[in-house]
Structure 1
Amino acid sequence: MSAFLKEKLASMPQHLQSLQSIQVGPYFRNIHLPQLPQNIQLPTTDLQGKARKLHSRNPKAVIVFLALVLLFFWKNIIYDVCTHFTRQYKPIEVVDKNPIKNETLGFQEIFVLSLPDRGDRRKPLLAAANATDLNITVLDAIRDRQIPVADYPEWWGTNNWVPKEGELGCLMSHLRTWRKMIHEDITSALILESDVDWDMRIKDSMVGLGEGVKAIADWPFEVPSHPRDFSKEVSPYGDRWDLVWLGHCGSNADGNGRIYAFNYASAPDEEHTWSFGGGPSPGHRPPGTRIVYQFQKSVCTTGYAISNQGARKLEKHFRQANSPIDLKMWDHCVNDPELACLGVWPQIISMAESRTNIKHTEGGLSFGHEITEERIVAGKGIQISARVNANTGTAGDPSKWKSEFKNRDKKGEKKEDEKKKEEKKEDEKKKEEKKDKDKDSQE
């Protein structure tokens, strides 16, 4: 301690006792501070006095200030108070991140082949896509007369086969699409005709198809390491398929015998399945399901998914095509061991009755009667038609969706069918009797 401080402390009065007992730390317990004079006035803070002074100010100013704050911020204040509790109990939104449920059904593109002058087909098609939140790209198809002879497939029209009008244009439209995929390196595409239809719940159906494709495409397994790590593969359907025929007029499941069945409400029952080209053998399909399989035949290119490697393989084959596109695809899928082709039954994509550009012997589009005008009707075997519900404006409200499968009285229906059969037999019997009479009279 300096001599100056010692001198000052010694000169201070000794009768101030209140500071002598202050201990400032464990190392200074024996140090006693000198006493201060009693007449020293220490400064104090008169909080109560200041509070009284504040309170004595004009209370109206405070009220006006608070009113202005409330006036400018009342919306925010009420919103914060009202939403404080609701935020705590707001349900968490569940987002389905399955890529198959995206706007292109898990493929890179959805292409629709349509003649440019067929707006009557494009309009219901685009409405159906919008109703089911699908993003489609319409590509202009071509007619036979637009194709130079030099661009014909090498074997076209040979082998005692005479093409029908429109078959060459159809084939070349698909072939051009495959070449587009190759040129632009498109990993996969769903290719549709312009007169197609599908169920409003197509995205859920496609999820089951994806599981089936992954289960079937690599059978038999090259190495016993299944299940493989699909997370490393580009497509949500796996990367070992070339063609998945999910829209057709008939398909046979007598392939390698491996079948994957998945259940979903959109699958039609036996009464409502449709085909003019045959179907799986009895027992292949469990009731109420769709099945995925390696097909032995499929007809009609209504809708099919194709991978980039599949497009490259088929494009090479089709340089020497000598038959309609569906028969040529069927032939190569069955006979080329390098092609992994799968089918689906019943169809997920189906065709609706429509005027056709290919002349069939049955008239119309092989439904047994000629169609002279375009109509918006459901596709064959489709329960809740996207075309129909988009046209009627009920697509946005599932409770108002129109179902094509009516619940009918089976007993009454059976009796009615039997009655019609009996009437038909009577008519045929009368016709035969009339023929016999006419024959006898001529003799």
Structure 2
Amino acid sequence: MLPKLPIRVIIAVTSIVLICVVLNLLCRSPYSRDKELVDLLEPPVKSISNTIQRDAYTHDQSIYQVQNETLGFQEVYMISLPSRTDKRDAFAMQAALSGITYRQIDGVDGREVPGKALPHTMDQSAPVVGCWRAHLNVLQKMVNEKVATALIFEDDADWDVSFKQQLVQFARGSRYISQTAENDVPKSPYGDNWDILWLGHCGTWVLAEDKHRFFVIPDDPTVEPPQYRCNVVSPDMSYWEGQDGDNTTRIVFNSGGAVCTAGYAVSQQGARKILYHMSMVPFNNAIDWGYAELCKDKRYNFNCVSVFPQLIGVSRPTGNSSKWSDIGYGDESTRTVRSAHSQYLVYSTRLNIANLLEGRTVFDSQYPTLPRLDISDIGSASGHVEVLDGGG
């Protein structure tokens, strides 16, 4: 028979046991606590014939940093001419309703950029010079302030109401395309080996040297139907949208370039390369074509990741179409009044502001052939790796 222990001893032992239990709970890895939740959020990859599949960073929780207020980047910037208060109003509303914080950067009037400040051989119109300088001002700020990564918007940018859900899938694709090791926890949730991420553009193409590796997101209700697309150039989608395709597939890939700059991300290493090649040496091009040249020419060791159809579109508000662009394309006197729309998007945030203000979770498509959907369905797509036949 065990001797009867004093009350003080029993209390002391009990206290020690409780303390050990609490410390054990507190010291458990966050990974182990949330692993089951991550498993539920990320469905298994699909089996696709004629491809090779593998799990793409399903269990790395850092990927969900893309859903924070800076979308997984250190900074978010928005470039806007001070005179375009209309665009600043609209962007502020979109960002607030999407849970995005950003820093506003003044655009540049190209007429105020002196010739001596231009790269040797540069011969562009004043609006093109102003656009080039405004974007380089952001990159200069990144380099000076040692900003690791930044997302750069123009003031007419728009995005789908499921933007943060879309970015989780894009980040999975970016990690794969930039060859981030699956077991690594990268510094950026998008991977660590990229210079530019083309999230918003008006046309993009696949890097010729890497035309077999893709991250594919099928059954995505936010994919703009082919008949409405107005891209300058686009990847060959026939493999996914051919006779057996359903026209709702988005792909992430190693990019040979893109055009237009509604929204894109740059890393610190990318910002330094751009400042050198597009300001400090002879250069004569618009900002987007300069980026594209860096992407396609392997001499620059500039790594670009694109998505198509794009995730960031361009808002076109109701009114005379002359208000759409500050670059000044076309004859201003021939512009006409047009109704509001957003290029490249389906469930536009800008076009759904009234629904967002009312706290609704069902949103309108801007296309008559596509239905109103709940946010849970709009952001439901999940991707997987595909290596097409002939790939390494």
- Secondary structure in 1 aligned to 2:326? coil
Q: Which residue of 1 aligns with 2:192?
A: 239
Structure 2 residue aligned with 1:281: 236
Deviation at 1:311, TM superposition (A): 0.5
Q: Is the 8 Å Cα contact of residues 386 and 395 (structure 1) preserved in structure 2?
A: no
Q: Is the CA contact 2:97–2:356 (under 8 Å) kept in the aligned structure 1? A: no
8 Å CA contact 1:254–1:281 kept in 2: the answer is no
Which residue matches 1:317?
A: 277
Given that 1:212 and 1:260 are in contact with CA atoms closer than 8 Å, whether structure 2 keeps it comes out as yes
Q: Deviations over 1:326-365 (max 9, x none)?
A: 111111111144100111100100112252121224x57x
CA distance, structure 2, for counterparts of residue 196 and residue 284 of structure 1: 30
- From 69, 74, 87, give the equivalent of 1:108: 74
Aligned-partner SS, 1:244 = strand
CA distance in 2, matches of 1:298, 1:370: 27
> Corresponding residue for 1:389?
352
Aligned to 1:222: none
The answer to whether the Cα contact below 8 Å between 2:207 and 2:296 also exists between their aligned partners in 1 is: no
Q: What one-letter code is carried by the residue in structure 1 that aligns with 2:214?
A: I
Work out the CA distance in 2 between the residues paired with 1:103 and 1:196: 17
1:370 aligned to which of 335, 348, 361? 335
**1:291 paired to 2:251:** yes
Q: 1:344 to 1:395 in 2, by over 3 A?
A: farther
Number of paired residues?
294
> Relative to structure 1, is the Cα distance of residues 296 and 314 closer, same or farther in structure 2, using a 3 angstrom cutoff?
same
In structure 1, what is the Cα distance between the partners aligned to 2:126 and 2:239? 36
Structure number with larger C-alpha Rg: 1
Counterpart residue identity of residue 298, structure 1: A
Distance (whole Å) between structure 2 residues aligned to residue 211 and residue 408 of structure 1: 27
- Give the structure 2 partner of residue 358 of structure 1: 327
Q: 1:175 Cα deviation (Å)?
A: 0.5
Q: Partners of 1:335 and 1:110 in 2: how far apart?
A: 28
**What is the aligned partner in structure 2 of residue 206 from structure 1?**
167
The CA distance in 1 between the partners of 2:193 and 2:122, in whole Å, is 31
Pairwise mapping of residues 332-347 of structure 1 onto structure 2 (< 5 A)? 332-337=294-299, 338-347=301-310
Determine the structure 2 residue equivalent to 1:122. 88
Larger RCO (alpha carbons 8 Å, 6+ apart): 2
Structure whose residues are more often strand by fraction: 2
Q: Deviations over 1:247-305 (max 9, x none)?
A: 11111225311221124332223234x23312111425454221111223411111111
1:195 maps onto 2:156 in alignment: yes
Distance 1:284 1:247, change over 3 A: farther
Q: What amino acid is the match of 1:230?
A: D
CA drift of 1:196 comes to 1.0
Identity of paired residues, percent?
29
Q: Matched residue of 1:342: which SS?
A: strand
| CA displacement, residues 184-242 of structure 1 (integer Å, 9 cap, x when unaligned) | 11110111111111001000001110000001113xxxxxxx744331x2100110001
| Structure 1 residues 312 and 383: CA distance shift in structure 2, 3 A | same
CA RMSD of the aligned region, Å?
Answer: 2.4
Is structure 2 residue 311 aligned with structure 1 residue 348?
yes
Long gaps (5+) in structure 2? 1-36, 42-60, 242-246, 317-322, 372-392
